[in-house]
Structures are given as structure tokens and as C-alpha cells.
Amino acid sequence: MVSTRIDWHEYFMNIADQVATRSTCDRKHVGAVIVRDRTILSTGYNGSVRGGVHCDDAGHDMENGHCVRTVHAEANAVAQAAKNGVRIDVSEIYVTASPCLTCFKLLANSGVRVVYYKEFYRDERISQYARESGIELVFMGKQTSVIPGADDVPEREPTPRAI
């Protein structure tokens, strides 16, 4: 009998896709799920500062072509874990778009060891920082390009040992 059950990587990325539906900036909906030992530790989506106005309601606050009203999904996932006293050291993150350099550094310093992403988003420098810090970047998307300079191959299967 052939199983139609999805693997853990697809499961967690599907949850990240669902988390992204809560985003409050229509320029980009991004979701993030932090996991350790097949257990969800925290989630985050790009949205305004807690209690602040949302882009969807007040418009965008643009700076150098970027909306700066929102906190990125990865940063919100780390903040939610911290707020709730959840240790994320030696964890993995599933994110619908690759992190910007600032979020990548936050993840690295928080102990995230593997970043699974579906879509490359803007910052090519994360591949160099990942190599230097020993963090694995794993492309899970369908597109044909990955972060330039990254060691990942577009058709690469996620590393089974990671979970």
C-alpha cells in the first residue's frame, strides 16, 4: 500500500504557509515555524508591532523601497518564543521566504541551526554568513534558482537527519 502521508518537512512548511495568512502587510505574506525534535516551538508572521496599526489599515511606511512598519516573520517567531520562555537553541526554522540578513543574524544568535525556505527573498549575503557560522540553508521551493553562492541544489531533498 502506497502512503500519501506527507513528510515532516512538507508538514512544517505547510504550517508556515498557513501562518503566513495572518500577515498584515500585503506587500509580502511570510510565515515562520521554529521546530525542534518534530515539535513546534514558536510561529511568526510579518506584521506590525503589537498594538500598532497594520499596513492593511494605515498603508505602508516605506524606507528605501521596503515597508518598515512590520516586524519580519522570523523575528516575530523568535520574539514569541522569548516572550513565552521557550528555548530555541539547536532548533530549525521553516520560513516561506529566505530571511533578510538582519533576521538571519538573529536566528543564528538564537541557536537556529537549519533554515528551510521555499523562496529566495532579496539578500544573497546570508549564504556567506551561513557558511561562516555553520548554519545549513535548505531550499524547499519549486523555482529553479536558489540563493547565489549557496551550496544547496534546487532539487535537493531536505536533510532527513535534521528532524
Q: What is the pLDDT of residues 64-81, one digit of tens each?
A: 888 888 999 999 999 999
Helix, strand, coil share of the chain (percent; to 5): 30, 20, 50
Contact 102, 73 (CB under 8 A): no
User: Residue 146 pLDDT > 90, yes or no?
Assistant: no
Predicted confidence (pLDDT) per residue in 87-96, tens digit: 999 999 999 9
Mean pLDDT for 17-28 is 93
Mean pLDDT of the chain: 87
Predicted confidence (pLDDT) per residue in 101-114, tens digit: 999 999 999 999 99
Q: Higher pLDDT residue, 32 or 124?
A: 32
Query: Catalytic amino acids?
Result: 74
pLDDT over 90, % of the chain: 63
118 vs 95: CA distance, rounded Å: 7
